[in-house]
Chain A
Amino acid sequence: MGSAPFKDFAYKDPMKILVIEDDREAADYLQKALSEAGHTAHLASDGEMGFAIADTNEYDVLVVDRMLPRRDGLSVIAELRAHGNTTPVLILSALGEVDDRVTGLRAGGDDYLTKPYAFSELLARVEVLNRRAGAKEVETVYRSGDLELDRLSHTVRRSGKEITLQPREFRLLEYLMRHAGQVVTRTMLLENVWDYHFDPQTNVIDVHVSRLRGKIEKGFESPVLHTVRGAGYMLKAG
């Protein structure tokens, strides 16, 4: 897998990422792919080393394998949090049951990705985590080009014209707009908009997105909701 599938990400905001992963091959692959996506990735191959590096350096995102030699991934995260380190953490794990995810997030992780994963999924999540460190959560109105979403009055306008959305469509658009300019995957949408972590066998999310797209693009000139091949969707004006 080269950089080609991810050029669509076209991320303009390079991040500094620490990958704590003991599988040499997986770590090297991640480092290479992240740098091709425009980011800088550092590697740590065990828990102690990972903790020492993360504790003394500034990173935008930490990618932490759950099972690490010398020190368990969750304890690394817990201790970083205890030291007041709030760097967003993406946990990687072979354990994917409901409870595993819950314990991972409880230990201080911000997101949880089950192995094996697609790199596009990891990249999308890492970039969303970084942006989450920003202040978009507190904004009451999201704007993207001529598209405007008011979180308080639950209204959506494009070029000043009100668009009527179903509650779920509103939440879908809200999530897409919060991460405007970033790739969001189908799994991320299912997790964040429907709060389900399983894998629906059919393309249910695609259908929802295309419905939403119909509502916010029909009658308007430019597309705002783009499909990112092999990865997911991106809301981007212009």
Chain B
Amino acid sequence: MLAKLSAMMRTTAARLSALYLLLFAVCAVVLVFYMTSLSARMLAGQTMETINEEVQGLAQAYQRGGLPFLVRTIERRARQPGANLYLIADPNGRILSGNVENLEPGVLEGDGWTERPFAYQRFGEGERGGEQRNTALESTARPADGRHHAIAVVLRLPNQMIMLVGRDLGEPERFRSVVQRALMFALGMMGVGAFLIWFLVGRRALKRIDSVSEASARIMEGDLTRRLPVTGAGDEFDRLSENLNAMLGRIGTLNEGLKQVSDNIAHDLKTPLTRLRNRAEAALAGKRKPAEYRETLEATIAESDQLIRTFNAILMISRLEAGYSAESVTKVDLADAVRDVVELYEPAAEDVGVVLEASVDGSFVVDGNRELIGQALSNVVDNAIKYSAGASESPRVVVSLEKTAAEIRLRIADNGPGIADEADRQRATERFVRLEESRSQPGSGLGLSLAKAVIRFHGGQLDLSDNNPGLSVTMVFPDAKGGE
């Protein structure tokens, strides 16, 4: 529990709420003191006002009927319930009349307002004071010696008699104490509430952070498929988790790509390397004719060249996919690119009985790299010729261009066997993927992925669709910025 509390104390949320709690408590204490002192002052003011009124009333009585009337008035008033304090004493301080039996010595020697509250005792209350009204509320208002306290005005009557008019302080003190207790109680409750809130908030923050830490620990252990918890509350933790999850997703994709590439490299480079090695070993093993050695060496060179080609393609794809953007970009007219590549491939296509046509009219300018586009286009055209050759009565590959509002679509359509399955079409552009039917064809399996990387480098995309029959490859380029 203590460890948990100390861990909680270290969270930002808990620290903030603790700070607020402290600030709040200070404010509340100040408020309590201010309120009680204000109410005390107000009550004291009221008391003095009451006494003043009383004195004025008595002064009128005195003027009207002299001392005897004054004494009678006092006697009458003193008997009323909850009466003020009245006292008339002779110059020596002996009590003659009124409802006060006993009071602190020296009070009657002053003149005017008593300097401070004084203790007194009413008639007939001497013995039972203190015990009888022993409720909680009054116990503090009553002094420990069982006497009441009061403030009063001491007046000298013309005949040297002393008159005291006062008011018991019990009630205001009780009131003050009630207010004080109520405020203390409220403060206590607020403190408890604040602590609870602090505890809950802190614990919640801690719990969220714990779950995030736990999840990230798992991820660090290598489980990249795990994600940080998102509660759906849409708070800062959720936003953080969502962003971290997106980052993890990206890392996962890259990681997956890397893994796939290394697997593929392992497979597609190791296989020919092994062949290469075996061939050399076999040639060394026995005595052979020079022509056989020559043949082996030529095959070795051809195999190495294919390896270099594959390797170059992998490097190029990686560079393009890594967003390497230094390749010189200029305005390239796709119509020229199509004409060039079709012109380059046309005789080769004709040789294998494929009609290769460019259906291009006008100019289609994009921001790009002529060399890269040429390579991508030639890869796709090469594939189209390879796969459509001999596949139908009149194999045909048509390269066409069309412009829509925001993009230029370069389409290479053949009437070969195509790729029937949608999922296979998606997979065909992945690195090293060679669909089963195409295993017999030569190639690195990188042609389409290289084309895709090039098109993506140009901000476009490569789509494969069914040409019924055949395959249609569409390179979608964004239109050149700013036009021509």
Contact = CB atoms under 8 A, between A and B. Distances in A.
A194 B379 CA distance: 16
B410 interface: no
B328 A102 contact: yes
B340 A194 contact: yes
A155 to B, nearest CB: 21
A115 to B, nearest CB: 9
A201 B306 CA distance: 10
A207 B347 contact: yes
Nearest to A168: B343
Contacts of B375: 196, 198
A202 B328 contact: no
A198 B371 contact: yes
A99 B297 CA distance: 34
Interface string A113-149: 0001010000000000000000000000000000000
Nearest to A169: B347
Contacts of A168: 343
Contacts of B374: 196, 198
A202 B382 contact: yes
A197 interface: yes
A99 B327 contact: yes
Main secondary structure of the interface of A (DSSP, over half): loop
Contact of B378 (A97, A118, A200, A230): A200
B369 interface: yes
B326 interface: yes
Contact of B372 (A1, A98, A201, A211): A98
Interface stretch (B46-54, B197-205, B308-316, B472-480): B308-316
Interface residues of B, number: 34
B322 to A, nearest CB: 12
Contacts of A102: 328
A208 B298 CA distance: 24
B348 interface: yes
A201 B447 contact: yes
B345 interface: yes
Contact of A211 (B347, B369, B385): B347
Q: What range describes how many residues of A lie at the interface?
A: 20 to 34
A224 B308 CA distance: 33
Contact of A202 (B316, B319, B348, B350): B348
Report which residue of B347, B385, B386 has the largest number of chain A beta carbons within 10 angstroms of its beta carbon.
Answer: B347
Interface string B439-475: 0001100010000000000000000000000000000
Contact of B369 (A96, A98, A203, A207): A98
Interface string A175-205: 0000000000000000000101111111110
B344 interface: yes
B436 interface: no
A198 B379 CA distance: 10
A204 B345 contact: yes
Contact of B312 (A98, A118, A199, A203): A199
B344 A99 contact: no
B397 to A, nearest CB: 13
Contacts of A201: 309, 379, 382, 442-443, 447
Contact of A98 (B327, B351, B447): B327
B312 A96 contact: yes
A118 B369 contact: no
A97 B324 CA distance: 11
Nearest to B383: A201
The 6 A-B residue pairs whose C-beta atoms are closest, nearest first, are A207-B347, A198-B375, A207-B348, A204-B348, A98-B371, A196-B374
